[in-house]
A and B are shown apart, each in its own frame.
Chain A
Amino acid sequence: MKASDTVPGPRAEDQLPHSTQAAAKIVIVGGFGVGKTTMVGSVSEIKPLTTEETMTQAGIGVDDNFGSASKTATTVAMDFGRIRISDEVVLYLFGTPGQERFWFLWNGLFEGALGAVVLVDTRRLEVSFEVMGRLEERGVPFVVAVNTFPDAPRYAIEDLRQALDLTPEIPIIECDARRRASSRDVLMTLMRFLQALMAANGTLT
């Protein structure tokens, strides 16, 4: 740790007003390389930041340091961005690794989130299966966003719904995570879905 005055902070224009009372979060989850960080960056009003967690992990099937140590320190990183909603509320977006075993590293990452966006790549659709299953088990509401890569197979939305075994009410939308308007549409779709859930159930749990 260097002297405190060398620690960078938010730019003056990025400081939240004192009236900001509370923050909410949305999680963007998907496999490696699916575009989570791209989506966070395209809608965030601040330059995306990274929070890390360091953990120990048994060295499984990798170089075993000649048997001297069975554990290695591993750093798991999560990129996030921020959108000011009003003078009282701020929204954070977290691009989260798809592997559930990392999720516990950040308290309440999914439990407290308003909802989740599962970002999928049709070239590797099955990478997202486990994530969706885990969210279903945890009762976390989610929408599916298909990041359209130029060389990826295109499926009709209803074929995707069948393949992903999603109920009719769960929105599936195509997006281009690089574009702010497109990523914003994904978030709007999630919010409308949450509204519908709340209208139907009176709660989001």
Chain B
Amino acid sequence: MTPPQRHRRRPASDPPSTPVPSPRHTPGGTGQDEEPKKPERLYTITGPDGDRAQLDLVTLIVARADPPASAPPEEAAVLRLCASPLSVAELSAYLRLPFSAMTVLLTDMLAAGTVHARAPIVRQQLPDRSLLEAVMHGLERL
């Protein structure tokens, strides 16, 4: 029995840019033969995009203080959960907020100084092999 055949691709010469969400309204109607449109986030950011882009799924968030009595419920929840470090992904899961909405809330809280962010380890900036070795040791202990 022969499996189906694939053909390998090469890295794109231009590094992939962040995909641009499609325009909200496409003139010309919605014919049956149209290509599927790229989806767009329902929650969008109105401010500069730079701050939000710094928050990765695994950026660790740590509270800097106990929640003040005046904090809105979402912020109080973040501050309580982040008494020990917690990733943005986990916060999104526990608070049942879409990831993008979570980053908006956290961007505000970072600006207000109520939480710290600890940047993730990313492939492009891996300094040496020691992290890979540490991960392997960690996996061996599982």
CA distance A125 to B67 in the complex (A): 51
> Is B123 a contact partner of A136 (Cβ separation < 8 A)?
no
Minimum C-beta distance from B25 to chain A (A): 9
Contact of B8 among A86, A94, A165, A184 (CB under 8 A): A165
Query: Within residues 72 to 89 of chain A, which ones have a CB less than 8 A from any CB in chain B?
Result: 73-76, 80, 82-86, 89
> Is A204 a contact partner of B123 (Cβ separation < 8 A)?
yes
> Is A73 a contact partner of B8 (Cβ separation < 8 A)?
no
Chain B hits for A191, CB < 8 A: 132, 135-136, 139
> Is B142 a contact partner of A83 (Cβ separation < 8 A)?
yes
Chain B hits for A199, CB < 8 A: 129
Contact of A23 among B6, B34, B87 (CB under 8 A): B87
Q: Which residue of B lies closest to A129 (CB)?
A: B6
Interface size bracket, B side: 35 or more
Contact of B98 among A21, A54, A136, A159 (CB under 8 A): A54
Beyond A4-B73, A7-B94, whether A25 also contacts B120 by CB under 8 A is yes
Chain B hits for A59, CB < 8 A: 30
> Is B42 a contact partner of A73 (Cβ separation < 8 A)?
yes
> Is A138 a contact partner of B12 (Cβ separation < 8 A)?
yes
- Most B Cβ at <10 Å: residue of A21, A61, A94, A107: A107
* Residue-wise interface mask of B (90-105) relative to A, using a CB-CB cutoff of 8 A (1 in contact, 0 not): 1011111011100100
> Is B84 a contact partner of A18 (Cβ separation < 8 A)?
yes
Minimum C-beta distance from A149 to chain B (A): 15
CA distance A55 to B22 in the complex (A): 12
Query: Within residues 43 to 81 of chain A, which ones have a CB less than 8 A from any CB in chain B?
Result: 43, 45, 49-61, 64, 70, 73-76, 80
Beyond A1-B74, A55-B40, whether A205 also contacts B90 by CB under 8 A is no
> Is B5 a contact partner of A92 (Cβ separation < 8 A)?
no
> Is B121 a contact partner of A2 (Cβ separation < 8 A)?
no
> Is A16 a contact partner of B3 (Cβ separation < 8 A)?
no
- A–B pairs, 16, beta carbons within 8 Å: A2-B73, A7-B77, A20-B85, A23-B120, A55-B41, A60-B36, A61-B32, A83-B138, A105-B100, A141-B123, A155-B3, A163-B4, A165-B7, A165-B8, A188-B136, A204-B123
- List residues of A whose CB falls within 8 A of some B CB: 1-5, 7-10, 15-18, 20-25, 43, 45, 49-61, 64, 70, 73-76, 80, 82-86, 89-92, 94, 101-102, 104-109, 111-115, 122, 125-126, 129, 132-133, 136-141, 153, 155, 159-160, 163-167, 180, 184, 187-188, 191-192, 194-195, 198-199, 203-205
- Knowing that A58-B34, A86-B138, A163-B6 touch, tell me 4 more A-B residue pairs with CB under 8 angstroms: A10-B90, A58-B36, A89-B135, A155-B3
Q: Top 5 closest A-B pairs, CB basis?
A: A85-B138, A49-B93, A4-B76, A112-B122, A23-B58
- List residues of B whose CB falls within 8 A of some A CB: 1-12, 15-16, 18-19, 26, 30, 32, 34, 36-43, 52-53, 55-60, 62, 67, 71, 73-77, 80-81, 84-87, 89-90, 92-96, 98-100, 103, 118-124, 126, 128-129, 131-140, 142
